[in-house]
Amino acid sequence: MKNLKRTIAIVCGGDSSEYEVSLRSAQGLYSFFDKERYNVYIVVVRSLDWHVNLPDGTTARIDRNDFSFMENGKLVQFDYAYITIHGTPGENGIMQGYFELVHVPYSTSSVLVEALTFNKFVLNQYLRGYGVRVADSLLIRKGYEEIVSDDEIEERIGMPCFVKPAADGSSFGVSKVKNKDQLAPAIRKAMLESEDVMVERYMEGTEISIGCYKTHDKTVVLPATEVVTQREFFDYDAKYNGQVQEITPARLSEETTKRVNEITSQIYDILHCNGIIRIDYIISRGKGSDGQEVDKVNMIEINTTPGMTATSFIPQQVKAAGLNMTDVLTDIVENQFR
């Protein structure tokens, strides 16, 4: 009798500095998937080395012609790819383009959406056109650093400011710059991760992160997580070495929570996203149209392949929502086959 279980590839690794984080996300996802319903394998991608981890502890080479492999003398072909690569090639449209070519459904948004969300500067300019509040920023491209002077950056963006890779993950190469003398080394540091560097205005406020996914029949906006760190900002050590307090649900007013949820759902639809995304915001205080102090919702960035370790934001938020990660992943996979 034909095996009716779908075969799922959890695709991890990649070519960015977040390679090890991706491997941890893959282990988290593997623990969450319903093994009674699916045959689940972890596929590790790094440059031209693509292999699948087999149950006996060995590995098998992935045939990139059709994304298949041999196990015990039998050909195994995947029905679905769950991409959990942080950075290139899984978060910028490259891996998505490959899966389009070999006709394998995948968990993330489309090629265009992935490329758009991967470049923070381009994304911010795009969403600004839809009325989404984002910080003012400048783009500095490798080889053209002299076009904008440090004085012009200070005048336009102000101090302090953030210097970050425009097209990469969010954990490496980021600096909080407090005076213009720190700009040049911060830009050089960011350019080790990306040839495009964004200099972004600093926003004072509460940092939150919120997950969202949609299927054909439902919209799920998860409870937001408030990020509290004693470090200068939410950097790699804060994220992955426990130097942060994560409060789920975030301590927001009922009205602000409702607005954040609405904006998150709208952004998901504007971009035509697919699967689970996570959006980071700064909630700042400012005057509304009536002159009264109100919360202002400022988008920082969108993560289309959010971390999936047991302690990552999304699993925390799923638990806080009273949901089960196994059921959520099943919803996301099966949505592709309706």
The Cα–Cα gap between 101 and 54 comes to 25
| Partner residues linked to 301 by β-bridges | 280
Q: Does the active-site annotation cover 18?
A: yes
Task: Report d(CA 135, CA 201) in Å as an integer.
Answer: 6
Question: Considering 16, 25, 137, 170, which one is annotated as catalytic?
Answer: 170
- Single out the catalytic residue among 16, 137, 194, 312: 312
Nearest to 329 by CA among 19, 35, 22: 35
d(C-alpha 189, C-alpha 18), whole Å = 16
The yes-or-no answer on residue 312 being catalytic is yes
Spatial distance between the Cα atoms of 59 and 321, rounded to a whole number of angstroms:
37
Q: For residue 70, which of 95, 45, 51 has the smallest C-alpha distance?
A: 51
**Alpha carbons 26 and 17: distance in angstroms, whole number:** 16
Q: Among residues 18, 114, 200, 246, which one is catalytic?
A: 18
Q: Are 105 and 80 in contact (CB under 8 A)?
A: yes
The response to whether 301 counts as a known ligand-binding position is: yes
C-beta of residue 250 within 8 angstroms of C-beta of residue 221: no
Q: Which residues are marked as active site?
A: 18, 170, 312
Residue set of the binding site for Mg(2+): 280, 301, 303
Query: Which positions make up the binding site?
Result: 280, 301, 303
